[in-house]
Amino acid sequence: MCGIVGYIGYREAFPIVIKGLQRLEYRGYDSAGIALFDGNQINLAKTKGKVEDLKNKAKEISQKGTIGIGHTRWATHGVPNDVNSHPHYSNSGELVIIHNGIIENYEAIKQELTKRGYTFQSDTDTEVLINLIEEVQKTENVKLGKAVQIALNQVVGAYAIAVFDKKKPDEIVVAKLGSPLAIGIGEGEFFIASDASPFIEFTNNAVYLEDEEMAIIRLGKEIKLRKIKDDSVAYPRILELQMNLEEIEKGGYDHFMLKEIYEQPRAIKDTYRGRLLANQGIIRMAGIDLNMEKFLNANRIIIVACGTSWHAGLVAEYIFEDLARIPVEVEYASEFRYRNPVITDKDVLIAISQSGETADTLAAIKLAKEKGAFVFGVCNVVGSSIARETDAGAYTHAGPEIGVASTKAFTTQITVLTLMALKLAKAKGVFSESRYHEYLTELETIPSKVEKALESNTLIEIIADVYKDSTNCLYLGRGYNFPVALEGALKLKEISYIHAEGYPAAEMKHGPIALIDEHMPVFVIATKKGHYEKVVSNIQEIKSRKGKIIAIVTEGDEQVRDLADHVIEVPETLESLTPLLTTIPLQLLSYHIAVMRNCNVDQPRNLAKSVTVE
Ligand code: AGP
């Protein structure tokens, strides 16, 4: 996610845009930039770092002008640095753009534009887009609005853009597909932003563009809405906003954690966007393609991570061994780095980290590299220390995860690892075409199935109220859902401060069943796929000892419903994809219990979002 801000009106644009960027920094904060038009020329400043760094950088330019656009970046293409920051000029220097989103087919467009003599300063998809708009403007001899409309019909991906042309200094053109874009409508002035937080102090009247809509915002005129596909007229729906600033930054949710739980359908889709081409039977991952032999000839894969990322690694162990038949070991990074492990140059090490800054994981990577292993990173923060230290990698495109309790990072990590395992299984020839196609097709349904799982939120809130005063909880799962049981327990522990343990369901009889009585809530993942009958037996063992059973079941399940005190349904899917769904109710459950216990959900006591110390 990135943050975009724009202003066109009678006030000085600089302070409005800068303050607006500060309000959007939660959306992305690895670099920032601003472009202002002073009546004669465009003055642009941009820098790696935060908006505060941009304010310093902007001292080098004229800050005059009543038109301006600004951007705070969450890098997806191109590491965070000055030149990759937005805004981006077109080659002529007459157009300038800011963009939140991903242009999937930017390489092909870049090649064509290069043939036509265009040059590029940055590694970004956004710079390609602004030069495509310029090329259309020239070859079709059209004004900016029409050029944007034509150009956007040639791109594949997601965008919220604002484009300015110094030849037409009384307007800004905006367009939206997949990324949010709001237009604030003031008296003789307009605001543009990713959400209303930059302009809520100036006006409550806003238009939220729908997907595939664009708008030509011209001073002194009504905004003109168009359908990108065919340039037909669209009609603005002006909303009068009632939300306050804090609510807007959280997207109307009470906490960042809840917002991020609900972002998972979009985050999973963004993570496989451009990589999963199910109808072509292709998984495109350059980091794997360029290192395929290393993976196929590896003695084993070692996965190192911490916390939730370690749980994603455990899921990956099941996936890689089950699907790709590659031996996998999962290690706590903090243990691995000190236990003098045997590592050879025939090992592949996968490091998983949302922040890309976890000290123990970084140290484990360095140890493995010293011993000659090939290291692959799965990170969420582009350009982070771990992303730079690894030999290759694949980013999750979850967007910034602000809540300390990791949620969308977990499901997007599993998405990346599943894509990797499927790609390797196909390359190894251990997968039939039909089974491969079945997985690719099913993976594409996951975002909508996550949406469906989220619909149980009200039921989960009711269940949370029943168990919010528990002092201990057990989480049980088998197979692919054993790591989900561990993850569910971690979520509850870290935000509600209730002691919780995750266990393989079959392990109960080796001791923990002694804990079961009427005061012990037991959360059991009992989906149809994966040792179902054995989990039902475990449930019966708990029931016979008066344990309280809350079961996560496949929708339509009647057998467990007759045994458990509560059931929460998730849609059916392939066994190896169930963790992407069964984790959702456990995230919501821990969230609601923590809220009911008046805990600080987004910043739990004693914790930090990124553990950069040992
Ligand atoms: C999970 O909810 C915690 N925030 C924590 O366990 C986290 O997963 C762990 O510190 C690893 O962080 P990383 O993914 O940024 O490396």
pLDDT (tens digit per residue) in 256-268 = 999 999 999 999 9
- For ligand 1, the distance from its centroid to the CA atom of residue 96, given in whole angstroms, is 38
Rounded Cα–Cα distance for residues 513 and 168 (Å): 74
Tokens of 340: 């003098």
Q: What angle do CA 355, 265, 357 make, to 5 degrees?
A: 5
Verify whether ligand 1 is closer than 6 Å to residue 582 (CB atom).
no
Question: What would the pLDDT profile of 73-92 be if each residue is shown by its tens digit?
Answer: 887 777 888 999 999 999 99
Give me the chain's average pLDDT, please.
94
Reported as a pLDDT band with limits 50, 70 and 90, residue 498 is: very high
Q: State residue 291's pLDDT score.
A: 96
pLDDT computed for residue 612 by the predictor: 67
What are the residues whose beta carbons fall under 8 Å from the beta carbon of 533, sequence distance 6 or more?
none
- pLDDT bin (cut points 50, 70, 90) of residue 587 is very high
Q: For residue 100, which phi and psi values (nearest 5 degrees)?
A: -115, 115
Residues 6+ apart with CB under 8 A from 82: 31, 46, 47, 48
Please, are residues 398 and 270 in contact by the beta-carbon 8 Å criterion?
yes
- What's the start-to-end Cα distance of the chain, in Å? 30
Pairing of strands 224-227, 233-234: antiparallel
Query: Which structural domains are found in the chain, ordered by start?
Result: 3-247 (3.60.20.10), 250-452 (3.40.50.10490), 457-596 (3.40.50.10490)
The catalytic residue positions are: 2, 609
- Residue 40 to residue 167: CA distance in whole angstroms: 10
Task: Answer yes or no: is the C-beta of 313 below 6 A from any ligand 1 atom.
Answer: no
The ligand 1 atom nearest the CA atom of 355: 15
Burial class (CB in 10 A: 0-12, 13-18, 19+), 117: exposed
82-131 per-position pLDDT tens digit:
999 999 999 999 999 999 988 999 999 999 999 999 999 999 999 999 99
Which letter does DSSP use for residue 390 in this model?
A: S
- Ligand 1 contacts CB of residue 358 (under 6 A): yes
Question: pTM, whole model, 2 decimals?
Answer: 0.81
Is the C-beta atom of 156 inside 6 A of ligand 1?
Answer: no
Write out pLDDT tens, residues 399-442: 888 899 999 999 999 999 999 999 999 999 998 899 999 999 99
CA of 418 to the centre of ligand 1 (A): 20
DSSP reduced 3-state for 417: helix
CA of 356 to the centre of ligand 1 (A): 10
- What pLDDT is stored for residue 613 in this prediction? 67
Q: How far is the CA of 241 from the centre of ligand 1 (A)?
A: 36
Report DSSP letters for 268-326, one per residue: HHHHHTTTEEGGGTEE--HHHHTTHHHHHT-SEEEEEE-HHHHHHHHHHHHHIIIII--
pLDDT at position 272 is: 96
Taking the C-alpha atoms of residue 260 and residue 245, their distance in angstroms, rounded to an integer, is 18
Q: What helix, strand, coil percent values describe the chain, rounded to 5?
A: 40, 25, 35
Angstrom distance (rounded) from CA 77 to CA 356: 16
| Confidence at 29, pLDDT banded by 50, 70, 90 | confident
Give the up-direction half-sphere exposure of residue 453: CA atoms within 13 A in the CB hemisphere: 30
Taking each helix axis as running N to C, give the angle between helix 579-596 and helix 482-496, from 0 to 180 degrees, rounded to the nearest 10.
20
Tokens (6 digits) for 140:
């079709």
Determine the Cα–Cα distance for residues 156 and 133; give it in Å rounded to an integer.
Answer: 14
DSSP state of 60: G
Phi then psi for residue 351, to 5 deg, are -105, 125
**If you measure from the C-alpha of residue 416 to the centroid of ligand 1, how many angstroms do you get, rounded to a whole number?**
17
Residue 608 has what pLDDT? 72
Per-residue pLDDT of 299-324, as tens digits, reads 999 999 999 999 999 999 999 999 99
Nearest protein Cα to ligand 1, atom 5: 307
Residue to substitute in 336, 358, 389 for testing ligand 1 pocket (most ligand atoms within 8 angstroms of CB): 358
Token pair 């690719």 is at which residue? 440
Among 355, 410, 609, 612, which residue has the most ligand 1 atoms within 8 Å of its CB, making it the best to mutate? Answer: 355
Ligand 1: atom nearest CA of 610 is 15
Q: What is the full DSSP assignment across 469-511? A: T-SEEEEEE-GGGHHHHHHHHHHHHHHH--EEEEEEGGGGGGT
Q: How far is the CA of 305 from the centre of ligand 1 (A)?
A: 9
How many A from CA of 6 to the centre of ligand 1? 35
**Residue 353 near ligand 1, beta carbon < 6 Å:** yes
DSSP code for 107: H
Report whether residue 354 contacts ligand 1, using a CB cutoff of 6 Å.
yes
3-state class (DSSP) for residue 46: strand
Task: Give the pLDDT score at 383.
Answer: 74
Protein residue whose Cα sits closest to atom 4 of ligand 1:
405
C-beta of 583 in contact with ligand 1 (< 6 A): no
Q: Is the pLDDT of residue 589 over 70?
A: yes
Rounded-to-integer distance, Cα 399 and Cα 381, Å: 8
Q: What span, in angstroms and rounded, lies between the C-alpha atoms of 457 and 38?
A: 50
Instruction: Classify residue 562 by its DSSP letter.
Output: T
CA–CA separation, 541 vs 434, rounded Å? 39
Element (H, E) at 585: helix 579-596
Binding site membership of 309 for ligand 1 (Cβ less than 6 Å): yes
Provide the pLDDT for residue 63. 97
Please indicate whether residue 611, judged by its CB atom, sits closer than 6 Å to ligand 1: yes
Say if ligand 1 is within 6 A of residue 308 CB: yes
Tell me what pLDDT residue 554 has.
97
